[in-house]
Amino acid sequence: MSTTESDVVGHRLYDLVAALMPPMRSITGNGVRATLDLVRAALPAQVPLTVHEVPTGTPVLDWTIPREWNVAGARLIGPDGRVVLDAADNPLHLLGYSIPMRARMPLAELRHHLYSMPDRPDWVPYRTSYYNDAWGFCLTDRQLAALPDGEYQVEIDTSLTEGSLTYGEIVLPGTSDEEFLVTTHLCHPAMANDNSSGIAVAIELAAALAARTRRYTYRLLFIPGTIGSITWLALNPGVIGRIRHGLVLTGLGDRGAPTYKRSRRGDAIIDRATARALAETGRPHRIVDFSPYGYDERQFCSPGFDLPVGRFGRSQHGEYPEYHTSADNLEFVTPESLADSFSILRRTIEICEADRVWRNTSPYGEPQLGRRGLYRSIGATMNRASIEMGLLWVLNLADGTRGLLDIAERADLPFDAVANAADALAGVGLLVEEPSVAGASASLAAASLAGASAASVVIG
Amino acid sequence: MSTTESDVVGHRLYDLVAALMPPMRSITGNGVRATLDLVRAALPAQVPLTVHEVPTGTPVLDWTIPREWNVAGARLIGPDGRVVLDAADNPLHLLGYSIPMRARMPLAELRHHLYSMPDRPDWVPYRTSYYNDAWGFCLTDRQLAALPDGEYQVEIDTSLTEGSLTYGEIVLPGTSDEEFLVTTHLCHPAMANDNSSGIAVAIELAAALAARTRRYTYRLLFIPGTIGSITWLALNPGVIGRIRHGLVLTGLGDRGAPTYKRSRRGDAIIDRATARALAETGRPHRIVDFSPYGYDERQFCSPGFDLPVGRFGRSQHGEYPEYHTSADNLEFVTPESLADSFSILRRTIEICEADRVWRNTSPYGEPQLGRRGLYRSIGATMNRASIEMGLLWVLNLADGTRGLLDIAERADLPFDAVANAADALAGVGLLVEEPSVAGASASLAAASLAGASAASVVIG
Amino acid sequence: MSTTESDVVGHRLYDLVAALMPPMRSITGNGVRATLDLVRAALPAQVPLTVHEVPTGTPVLDWTIPREWNVAGARLIGPDGRVVLDAADNPLHLLGYSIPMRARMPLAELRHHLYSMPDRPDWVPYRTSYYNDAWGFCLTDRQLAALPDGEYQVEIDTSLTEGSLTYGEIVLPGTSDEEFLVTTHLCHPAMANDNSSGIAVAIELAAALAARTRRYTYRLLFIPGTIGSITWLALNPGVIGRIRHGLVLTGLGDRGAPTYKRSRRGDAIIDRATARALAETGRPHRIVDFSPYGYDERQFCSPGFDLPVGRFGRSQHGEYPEYHTSADNLEFVTPESLADSFSILRRTIEICEADRVWRNTSPYGEPQLGRRGLYRSIGATMNRASIEMGLLWVLNLADGTRGLLDIAERADLPFDAVANAADALAGVGLLVEEPSVAGASASLAAASLAGASAASVVIG
């Protein structure tokens, strides 16, 4: 990506992050719908966003769609009658999924429902209680310390009702029905890195993918964390077996080094393609092994599915103090980091698109390259030594069992050197593509999954 | 093991080593029987020791039970008529398996039958000649140097007769007929580390095993080295296929670091369980690869059997100068080392007992742990982070192919964290145990073994 | 190899290299035939060299046998009528495969056909143009700089005619029809290391092999590079499946460390045997992975054949400035290096000859070695500890799946210790040899090769 393009993309992404901050998001409710409206508005017209509504009570795998949560308002009023906290000022002030509550109580009793961070006295923590009925407020520790004794008025006007879980989905068909899955969670309110950055980058990826030829069918999901991926998996048993590569996007805008977390398989094509895209940057980056703690990769990589899905981001949850606080704001993310994350993801996709299994049609001895004029056909933009070595390596290793990623790794050549050599050789008939056999085991896993009988209403 | 328990166990083991020193042991004969009497006396009443007698001449695999050797007395009398050496003072003075000999001869001729250690002038070496007829005396190099010229009287009153080979066996049934084998050799006389320590620790293990619930059936063998394991293997073709884990115990009392020698397989459960028990001590230890030189693991790991049997001890044969000399005495072993060896062995057994192959019954996505109240059910004795991580790791990896040892290694968690998580998950039905498939190849090997037709008379 | 033998062999090889320098060699023509006459003259009388002539136009795999090139003379005459360059002085002066040319032209035009090395002003480069019609002269940069302006006379009296490609072949039958292939290229003129050294060492190997018992059938090829190996592969589909080991010999006389380039398979017996032979020297050496750039291993290791063929030499092409110049002369190679290369190759062959898959006939427990008198049968020439350990290791690992190379590697013993132990054990019936199963996949590959229909005329 050129400096100019990177600059343009970075600022577009940064503006998107800013635009995505306000809605009162949670795992269900109108905050999610408002966010999906912003997503649709940011997408090019030709990119279709489908919004799904899954009714409360629907069984999804081992879980059940919870009641829908909406917030009319939430205020804490002090002994002097003044408003101490108002969720309208900052969605983080309200404990996520707070039950409705109207009550008066002394400070001592109220304290059981107040959350602050003594070691970060100016930050508001982000707290939720999805599956246990609770209510509460989050505030800075300085605010907490300054609260005078007396009677406080709690006014939490929320509703928990039969409704639905909402998520968004973009499908961009490719020449194949094999799929590349990209997911991002959209349940965290008012925070820039976690995960407005993910939503923004997914939008930019969708636009970029819509503008290019696609071998794979791309599916982008905007889902609430955990329950969203579980819901999608429950509702799409027929799609699961077609997923060849997948990425969960989280925390893409902070100043940390880009970080890839491997799939449970550890050596899937997506694991190796991302590693190569990272290596090609020539800048510091991290690759970490799978663990069952984290974001939605936990669900995609659960043992029954075991999908080739990794996670891409920068600093990981728990590694930075701003995580899940009001300090994860627009100063915490940068256009440069957002553009860099997008660039690495786009490159990863390019590698997956270009990675194929070829078979040398003239495998007995070296074919005579000179009389086919292969060198000229590639042109002079590459280092000549690399061109020749790329041709020889591809001919030697393209025996119908290895992909171009395998060859690039074995030959220790840039991926493009190998991919360009393969294109040139295919152009003169010295290579033919092998039918893909990837994902057969994933198909079997999906076939044995007793499909959830949940109904899904498409409204988008 | 608490400090107090360790202290008690250490001194009990040390006293046992001292009690086991005196008998004139060899690979056959009354010294073995006397030793087994001491073993029986040291065992709790409910632990049954069976003594087997296998007749001279019985073919056992490629070998034949040798003649039984007994010693009525053995003295060397000097030119002045005084007793120079007497086996009654120290069994090591008599070359093991010496043939009977009554003769007078000059010192020059006698020298061909005298064994000393010039580089350790105060130590008596331990020498034997089981399969070549020979006689001789072992003495300190100072004694040898002080011998005056003249005629010496040799009085070796031994017998080599049709008799039997004697060994002891304890079987402690478990809920399964799959077996855990523990063996120790009992043919070395008058030495503390090699191998009174092994006999003592095996007794202590038998007592500890008798007092606990057992999944495996435990079989403890007290056998002469080489010919004893060969004999047992020849006589028990039906048992061999049921052996899932095994340990040969040698040299457990010296001040060296605990040392484990892997089975021929190298990655058997016993190899990994012992490695984990050693790592959990947090103290220096060694793990060495299999080699075909050593103790009875040579027989259990011969290619036809290839059993999952390793060897546990401290300093290895040949690594310490006291090995096979009179300096391997009660000063060479310590209660602390004996207790430490016992503790590591007991922990290894605990790990093998707890290691199981589980299968996640809800493998599609994560099961909802919160509604099952799993956290409370485990209690507060463990670090909370480990509890959660243990639950997630076990759910993610328990796919019916991995044991808990595999999971602990992959997750880099303490074995108990994983084992406790598995127990909690099994308690709410999220895990079921897979039937064990280990040892099938060993069964086949045993089935193809032409069983020796040797008769065994049980007298214990 | 003793110092004396090494000295004798080194000087014999050095003299051979000198004798092989003069002919005007190329990939076809009388220079090749003259070289093969020198080869025949240097071979012992009982070693049969067959010379093959393959007609121009014969299709060989993806290639076609080119026109035959011969040189009657080639001179460049200056403006003053004096001879500036004459191929009779140095074959390198003539661009290899120059088309015939008689012309007068000014220096400015002539320059397009003159090749020198500005950075090595006293060396003549070696250049060829086999498959594009061209003519030219090679000269030192000092000669080029001194050329006066004026009209030059070009007199290149070459011919490119329907003829044949010539190569030599020695077959030394073994007790098995499984083959060990040794090849060297003979197309480079007037250079010592590349590849007079290869021709000389191949001659010495043929003589040494003729004088020893052989399990394998040895086939030595003296072929032009690339087109020669392609031709041989095309003409011998029935032999290819019998090749078990192979070595391409290049650059064996320079002062660099011995270097082995692995076969494409990477872990073939030849790869491991050469590695062991190199390790046994105790001197610096290199082992490099396969790459598809190099000499004729490119053809033998093309994916359709994938033969277990490595390459042995010293400094590699491109690593030394003298490569493909007049400085690759008799001062660049040494008798010591030539003898060392020969010695390592002979040892590699010895290891391949001795490497067998044995099966322990008494695999249940250790067989009783003492009663078989094994120790005496081996004698006292080896270290006793190694003898015993060799016996135990071979008995333990010879389970019908491992070769002696495997055992030597696992036991970390010298190959001969293991081989001698195996011989001793086989002598008393404790080992039997397993039928070889190597090379089955290579046979299948050869069977699926559509055999070239080229005719070959044997005249040697």
Condensed to tens digits (0 to 9), the pLDDT of residues B235-290 reads 999 999 999 999 999 999 999 999 999 999 999 999 999 999 999 999 999 999 99
Question: Tens of pLDDT along chain C (460 residues)?
Answer: 788 999 999 999 999 999 999 999 999 999 999 999 999 999 999 999 999 999 999 999 999 999 999 999 999 999 999 999 999 999 999 999 999 999 999 999 999 999 999 999 999 999 999 988 999 999 999 999 999 999 999 999 999 999 999 999 999 999 999 999 999 999 999 999 999 999 999 999 999 999 999 999 999 999 999 999 999 999 999 999 999 999 999 999 999 999 999 999 999 999 999 999 999 999 999 999 999 999 999 999 999 999 999 999 999 988 899 999 999 999 999 999 999 999 999 999 999 999 999 999 999 999 999 889 885 434 333 454 678 899 999 999 999 989 999 999 999 899 999 999 999 999 999 999 987 644 333 333 343 443 333 344 444 4
**CA of residue B110 relative to chain centroid, distance:** 38
Rounded Cα distance, C277 and A388, in Å: 33
Chains contacting B (3 or more CB pairs within 8 Å)? A, C
Q: Quick check: helix, strand or coil at residue C194? A: helix
Q: Nearest CA of chain A to the CA of C302: how many Å? A: 5
Contact state of C292 with A367 under an 8 Å Cβ cutoff: no
* Residue owning tokens 């008690």: B8
| Cα three-residue angle A286-A288-A292, rounded to 5 degrees | 145
Residue ranges and CATH numbers for the domains of chain B are: 3-66+164-354 (3.40.630.10), 71-161 (3.50.30.90), 357-433 (1.10.10.10)
Model confidence over A31-62: pLDDT tens digits?
999 999 999 999 999 999 999 999 999 999 99
**Looking at the predicted structure, is the pLDDT value of residue A295 above 70?**
yes
What value does the CA radius of gyration of chain C take, rounded to a whole number of Å? 25
Under 8 Å between Cβ of A100 and A158: yes
Q: Nearest CA of chain C to the CA of A362: how many Å? A: 7
A132 touches chain B (CB under 8 A): yes
Grade residue A385 by pLDDT with cuts at 50, 70 and 90.
low
Q: Which residues contact B65 (CB under 8 A, 6 or more apart)?
A: B54, B55, B56, B57, B58, B164, B165, B227, B231, B454
| Residue C158 phi, psi (nearest 5) | -110, 170
Q: B241-266 as b/e, with b when 16 or more CB fall inside 10 Å?
A: bbbbbbbbbbbbbbebebbbbbbbbe
Would you state the pLDDT for residue A128? Answer: 94
Q: Find the closest chain A residue to C290 by CA distance.
A: A411
Contact state of C226 with A371 under an 8 Å Cβ cutoff: no
What interface predicted TM-score (ipTM) does this complex get?
Answer: 0.90
Question: What interhelical angle do A3-20 and A197-210 show, nearest 10?
Answer: 130
Q: Find the closest chain C residue to B64 by CA distance.
A: C368
Rounded Cα distance, C231 and C65, in Å: 8
Contact state of B291 with C393 under an 8 Å Cβ cutoff: yes
Contact state of B364 with A132 under an 8 Å Cβ cutoff: no
Which residues, listed in sequence order, are joined to residue C171 by a DSSP beta bridge?
C219
Which residues, listed in sequence order, are joined to residue A287 by a DSSP beta bridge?
A260
B228 touches chain A (CB under 8 A): no
Low-confidence stretches of chain B (pLDDT < 50) are 376-382, 384, 437-460
Question: Which tokens is B69 given?
Answer: 């050797």
Q: State yes or no: B188 annotated in a binding site.
A: yes
Cα separations in angstroms, A87 against A19, A23, A155, C458? 18, 11, 11, 97
Rounded Cα distance, A407 and C381, in Å: 50
Give A 333-372 residues with CB within 8 A of chain C.
360, 362-368, 370-371
Grade residue A379 by pLDDT with cuts at 50, 70 and 90.
very low
Q: Nearest CA of chain B to the CA of C164: how many Å? A: 58
Give C 271-330 residues with CB within 8 A of chain A.
291-293, 298-299, 301-305
Q: Which of B412, B409, B347, B351 is nearest to B385 (CA)?
A: B412
Would you state the pLDDT for residue A231? Answer: 98
Rounded Cα distance, C204 and C12, in Å: 9
B232 touches chain C (CB under 8 A): no
Q: Quick check: helix, strand or coil at residue A175? A: coil
Virtual torsion, Cα B160, B163, B168, B171, nearest 10 deg: 150
Rounded Cα distance, C155 and C69, in Å: 16
How big is the A-B interface in CB pairs under 8 Å? 62
Q: Which residues of C touch B293 (CB under 8 A)?
A: 388-389, 392
What is residue C271's DSSP assignment? H
Q: Nearest CA of chain A to the CA of C199: how many Å? A: 23
C223 touches chain A (CB under 8 A): no
Phi-psi region of B190 (alpha: psi -120 to 50; beta: other; left: phi over 0): left
Contact state of C303 with A366 under an 8 Å Cβ cutoff: no
Q: Which residues contact C403 (CB under 8 A, 6 or more apart)?
A: C269, C355, C356, C357
What is residue A273's DSSP assignment? H
| Cα three-residue angle A8-A10-A15, rounded to 5 degrees | 95
Q: Which of B314, B233, B278, B305 is nearest to B415 (CA)?
A: B278
Rounded Cα distance, A308 and A180, in Å: 10
Supply the DSSP string of A109-126, one letter for each residue: HHGGGEE--TTSTT--B-
Q: Which of C129, C136, C158 is nearest to C69 (CA)?
A: C158
Least confident residue range of A179-183, A450-454, B159-163: A450-454
| Cα three-residue angle B219-B224-B227, rounded to 5 degrees | 100
**Most A CBs within 10 Å, among C62, C64, C131, C305, to test the A interface:** C62
Out of A365, A370, A393, whose CB is closest to C61?
A365
Beta strands in C173-236 (DSSP E): 179-185, 217-223
C62 touches chain A (CB under 8 A): yes
Model confidence over A247-265: pLDDT tens digits?
999 999 999 999 999 999 9
What is residue C120's DSSP assignment? S
Q: Which residues contact C202 (CB under 8 A, 6 or more apart)?
A: C182, C183, C184, C220, C222, C249
Rounded Cα distance, A203 and A201, in Å: 5
Q: Find the closest chain B residue to C386 by CA distance.
A: B293
Burial of B56 (0-12, 13-18, 19+ CB in 10 A): middle
H/E element holding A444?
helix A440-447
Rounded Cα distance, A332 and A325, in Å: 11
Q: State yes or no: B285 annotated in a binding site.
A: no
C131 touches chain A (CB under 8 A): yes
What value does the CA radius of gyration of chain A take, rounded to a whole number of Å? 25
Q: Nearest CA of chain B to the CA of C322: how many Å? A: 48
Q: Nearest CA of chain C to the CA of B229: how many Å? A: 9
Under 8 Å between Cβ of B203 and B47: no
Rounded Cα distance, A167 and A460, in Å: 10
Contact state of A395 with C302 under an 8 Å Cβ cutoff: yes
Contact state of B363 with A303 under an 8 Å Cβ cutoff: yes
Rounded Cα distance, C268 and B26, in Å: 49
* Residue owning tokens 């009677």: A151
CA atoms within 13 Å, Cβ hemisphere of B87: 25
Under 8 Å between Cβ of B431 and B390: no
Q: A308-345 as b/e, with b when 16 or more CB fall inside 10 Å?
A: bbbbbbbbbeeebebbbbbbbbeebbbbebbbbbbbbb
Alpha-carbon torsion (A95, A100, A106, A112), positive or negative:
negative
Q: Which residues contact A119 (CB under 8 A, 6 or more apart)?
A: none
CA atoms within 13 Å, Cβ hemisphere of B81: 0
Under 8 Å between Cβ of C218 and C183: no
Model confidence over A65-102: pLDDT tens digits?
999 999 999 999 999 999 999 999 999 999 999 999 99
Q: B279-290 as b/e, with b when 16 or more CB fall inside 10 Å?
A: eeeeeebeeeeb
Contact state of B366 with A291 under an 8 Å Cβ cutoff: no
Q: Quick check: helix, strand or coil at residue A90? A: coil
Q: Nearest CA of chain B to the CA of C392: how many Å? A: 6
Contact state of C230 with A411 under an 8 Å Cβ cutoff: no
B265 touches chain C (CB under 8 A): no
Question: What interhelical angle do A269-281 and A404-411 show, nearest 10?
Answer: 50
Would you state the pLDDT for residue A377? Answer: 39
Virtual torsion, Cα C381, C386, C391, C396, nearest 10 deg: -160
**Most B CBs within 10 Å, among C357, C364, C374, C399, to test the B interface:** C364
Which residues, listed in sequence order, are joined to residue C358 by a DSSP beta bridge?
C433
Contact state of B389 with A293 under an 8 Å Cβ cutoff: yes
H/E element holding A440?
helix A440-447
Cis peptide upstream of residue A195 (ω within 30 degrees of 0): yes
Average pLDDT across chain A, whole number: 92
Contact state of C63 with A389 under an 8 Å Cβ cutoff: no
Instruction: Based on DSSP, count helices (H) and strands (E) in chain B, helices before strands.
Output: 15, 20
